[in-house]
Amino acid sequence: MNEKNALLIESAFKEYYFNRFDLIHVPQRAAEREFGYQKFNSGMTRHLVIKNDKELHLMLMKEVPSDVYCSNAHYMFPNLPMSEKDWKGADLIFDIDAKDLALPCRKDHTIFKCSSCNNSVTEFQSQCPKCGSGKFETASVSCKNCISESKKEVTKLVDILTTDLNMQKEQIETYFSGNEGFHVRVTNADYESLGSQERADLVDYIMFNGAIPESFGIKRQNNSKSLLPTFEEKGWRGRVARKLFSSRSKVPKVTREIIASGYSAFQVQLEEIKKTMGVRVDPKVTMDIHRIFRLEGSINSKSGLSKIQCTNLDSFDPFLEACLLGDDNVEIMADCPLQIRLKNKKFGPYKSEIVSLPKYAAVYMLCKGLGNTI
């Protein structure tokens, strides 16, 4: 990021951290966690200990980081190198990101920016129409559908955690990530001691990975003796039964069709069920028991939006509720070929033109690489 853009964004972030201390708190057992931060155009600073809100606020005002992180893990010595920290356990974390959902709308709000001349276009081309370069960077401006589909994944995840794993809803916290998705944190102490492999197994269950016909009563041979799951069963067997049959009156007919079609056909059905009913989380995030995770209340430098908790997921609008930077006007040279919506206002499209925008909209474009300060 060029220096002038970084200075403008840093100024907006500093104003936010000064005015919104009420949103930014250390998590429980803060003294056992590793903190870290990144500054604009600089590397990561890790292995910090921050014990309380006062220390956190002082760090934010002094360093004005582009991003702030805190470990999901608890350590005996969080400020030491990783091999010496003495791991005690870690919160169970899930990451759901719209970019991983393969949504058809993505092509409608992905911007290709030429690495040579910064020309921006909305359709991929092998060469920049302005300078002929073949190197492009991409930026995505999320839409309502991205957020809606991400919410559906969160809802499926919470259903499995509560009905299959007997977690309490009060132990499940959902946060907007500050960019294109959601973070879900489980505070149930029973899961803190799980290692990476156990968390990988849990992710496989949640994503419906590796499902085989035998688990649902279909055998490679002697299909006449197959016993399909019923509506009343718990877990994935009951979930699959309700998907296959849709109603109890259809059970005999659908059962005959499944048995007649055979093992391989049912395996294909299970793969299709996975696409719609398996929860699409990022497995690597959940498996990583040493990860430092974006701190709630902090700003995501990829968008200028805040990571905040969603108390009502259904009605939550990140383009309004997480858009918390100032609204005083600043001038930038905007090159944003798509219209964006923030705080119920529409901005753009702009084609390399000087515009006066509320600070929150200007910072959003600068963070996305869709403009420059004047």
What does the pLDDT read at residue 189? Answer: 87
For residue 205, give the nearest of 240, 163, 236 by alpha carbon.
Answer: 236
- Is residue 360 a contact partner of residue 325, using CB atoms and an 8 Å limit? yes
What does the pLDDT read at residue 312? Answer: 95
Angstrom distance (rounded) from CA 232 to CA 213: 19
Angstrom distance (rounded) from CA 247 to CA 230: 11
What does the pLDDT read at residue 200? Answer: 97
Angstrom distance (rounded) from CA 100 to CA 280: 8
Mean pLDDT computed over every residue of the chain: 94
Nearest-5° Cα angle at 285, 281 to 291? 160
Domain with CATH 3.90.920.10 in the chain: 3-94+283-373
For residue 369, give the nearest of 118, 146, 4, 98 by alpha carbon.
Answer: 118
pTM of the model: 0.93
CA torsion sign, 10 to 14 to 16 to 21? positive
Torsion of CA 258, 259, 264, 268, to 10 degrees: 10
Spatial CB neighbours of 373, under 8 Å, sequence gap ≥ 6: 4, 5, 7, 8, 330, 332, 333, 366
If you search the block for the tokens 């005959």, which residue do you land on?
256
Describe the crossing of helices 359-367 and 3-19 by its angle, rounded to 10 degrees: 130
- Is residue 206 a contact partner of residue 278, using CB atoms and an 8 Å limit? yes
Output the CA–CA distances (angstroms, integers) from residue 173 to 4, 154, 303, 309, in the order listed: 37, 11, 22, 7
pLDDT digits (tens, 9 = 90+) for 130-186: 888 889 989 998 899 999 999 999 999 999 999 999 999 999 999 999 999 999 999
* CATH, domain range 3-94+283-373: 3.90.920.10
What does the pLDDT read at residue 118? Answer: 81
Query: Tens-of-pLDDT digits for all 374 residues of the chain?
Result: 899 999 999 999 999 999 999 999 999 999 999 999 999 989 999 999 999 999 999 999 999 999 999 999 999 999 999 999 999 999 999 999 999 999 999 999 999 988 888 888 888 888 888 888 889 989 998 899 999 999 999 999 999 999 999 999 999 999 999 999 999 999 888 999 999 999 999 999 999 999 999 999 998 876 666 789 999 999 999 999 999 999 999 999 999 999 889 999 999 999 999 999 999 999 999 999 999 999 999 999 999 999 999 999 999 999 999 999 999 999 999 999 999 999 999 999 999 999 999 999 999 999 999 999 99
Nearest-5° Cα angle at 337, 335 to 343? 90
Residues identified as active-site: 95, 97, 282
pLDDT digits (tens, 9 = 90+) for 339-359: 999 999 999 999 999 999 999
- Is residue 336 a contact partner of residue 370, using CB atoms and an 8 Å limit? yes
